[in-house]
Amino acid sequence: MPTARDRVRFGANYTPSQGWFHSWLDLRVDDARRDFEDLASIGLDHVRVFPLWPVIQPNRGLIRQRSIDDLTALIDAAAEFGLDVAVDLLQGHLSSHDFLPSWITTWHRASLFTDPAAREGIADYAAAVSRAVAARPNVFAITLGNEVNNLWPSNPTTLEQSHQWASDLVDVVRANAPDVLALHSLYDDAWYSPDHPFSPVSATDLGDLTTVHSWVFNGVSAIDGPLGPATTSHAAYLVELADAMAPDPSRRVWLQEVGAPLPDVPVAAAADFVERTVASVIDHPGLFGITWWCSHDVDRTLLDFPEREYDLGLFTTEHQAKPLALALADCIAAQREGVEPQPGRVAIVAAHDLRTDLHRRAKVAPGSAFHERWVTASSERSAAIVLPALADDTQHLAARSITRVADELSPGRALP
């Protein structure tokens, strides 16, 4: 863990204000420029962008150059506003909608995680898009896809298969984009759901850093939302779980998605929710960045979204900054000169090996005794988490700036 670090990055998951992601079907770069102007105005330094897989690769043998050109044009437009770009490859899943090409659905039904031909096609796609976007100087990361575990159960897989799938694709990204971060992303059932066929180990072991996505409708808002400690620290909790489980103690964690969904976080509470959420993670020594979901609301003329997806934007579709955007701007301004990472951290010991005992994942889920213990231990500053086998490993603890380990029986013991 570096004692000094780069400034924490702040960004937005880019949801086009006009036509949502269907705007890829006829990209108007000026519309994107107008959106990027909004995002730059509050001090964000990056956007995460989401091409639609079946638009770029409608047939396994056809990767449409024009759509790749659209993607790079969008990236270049972001650069005009000083915004760096992270690209997600396989969308795949966006706000409850799956975009899957005809060559893996219905009459061609094949699991994209396991079918050899599908995997070959996806590898071709990942290679082509990675190559194209990595040539842009403002691209800093490529993620395999947005929460690809949402593509299950429609695409069957097992823990082993989905890990291998992601591992192989990370290799494809690295081979074709050696100078950018190669990343994997999963929503939090990977961390909390015992039977879920995607492992948090894939998140902490594959790629160049760990990404976490924090959504308070997963249980924490029912505990004490909208502004209670379990709710506003959930992002930090995931960051700590990720940090605890990484084999490399210096591995960074990117809070790649966090948002303030209705009705869990009412409009009146949104600004405070932003402030407290950011405060709970900002001084984590390994934090890479915070990327809000999402940039712009979804136009109400678009139907069939879950209600909570419409109003997640920092900005309205009419480019009005919402209170939470101003709160986020304040957070960014407050740490412009950098934030000193926590120098001496307190850790609590997990009750089981989070890496191996995946059938016990529910024991760390929101509302579990462990989660409750962590929230209590984090009342002042977010507590670190340490795996049982590493609780006495002074080298590991030092590498993570942990100076004190608390266990369930004692309030904490100082390290020798």
Chain residues binding a copy of itself by CB under 8 A are 19-20, 22, 25-26, 55, 58-62, 64, 66-67, 93, 96-100, 102-103, 105-108, 117, 121, 150-151, 154, 301-304
Which DSSP string do the residues of 280-318 spell out, in sequence order?
A: HHTT-TTEEEEEEE-SBPPPTTS-SS-GGGTT--SB-TT
Nearer Cβ to a copy of itself, position 106 or 395? 106
Give the containing element (helix H, strand E) for 34.
helix 29-41
Give just the sign of the alpha carbon dihedral 107, 113, 118, 122: positive
32 CB-contact burial (10 Å; exposed 0-12 / middle 13-18 / buried 19+) = buried
Which structure tokens are listed for 37? 């102007």
Look at the block and give the residue holding tokens 């507590």: 383
Nearer Cβ to a copy of itself, position 22 or 360? 22
Residue 300 near residue 310, CB atoms below 8 Å: yes
Look at the block and give the residue holding tokens 């994942």: 361
Nearer Cβ to a copy of itself, position 304 or 318? 304
CB of 320 to a copy of itself, least distance (A): 22
CB of 299 to a copy of itself, least distance (A): 9
Nearer Cβ to a copy of itself, position 60 or 371? 60
CB of 60 to a copy of itself, least distance (A): 4
CB of 61 to a copy of itself, least distance (A): 4
CB of 316 to a copy of itself, least distance (A): 18
Nearer Cβ to a copy of itself, position 19 or 228? 19
Nearer Cβ to a copy of itself, position 124 or 330? 124
Angle, CA of 64, 65 and 71, to the nearest 5°: 100
Nearer Cβ to a copy of itself, position 151 or 238? 151
Nearer Cβ to a copy of itself, position 25 or 369? 25
Give the length of the chain: 416
Nearer Cβ to a copy of itself, position 107 or 307? 107
CB of 310 to a copy of itself, least distance (A): 12
Nearer Cβ to a copy of itself, position 10 or 103? 103
CB of 399 to a copy of itself, least distance (A): 41
Residue 354 near residue 241, CB atoms below 8 Å: yes
* CA pair distance 376, 332, nearest whole angstrom: 27
- Report the chain's C-alpha Rg in angstroms: 20
Cα–Cα distances (Å) from 218 to 87, 165, 185, in that order, read: 26, 26, 17
Give just the sign of the alpha carbon dihedral 118, 124, 128, 130: positive
Look at the block and give the residue holding tokens 């959106």: 35
CB of 88 to a copy of itself, least distance (A): 16
Cα–Cα distances (Å) from 260 to 146, 232, 312, in that order, read: 18, 10, 6
CB of 67 to a copy of itself, least distance (A): 7
Residue 307 near residue 262, CB atoms below 8 Å: yes
Beta-bridge partners for 88: 143
CB of 69 to a copy of itself, least distance (A): 10
Give the containing element (helix H, strand E) for 58.
none
* CA pair distance 103, 119, nearest whole angstrom: 12
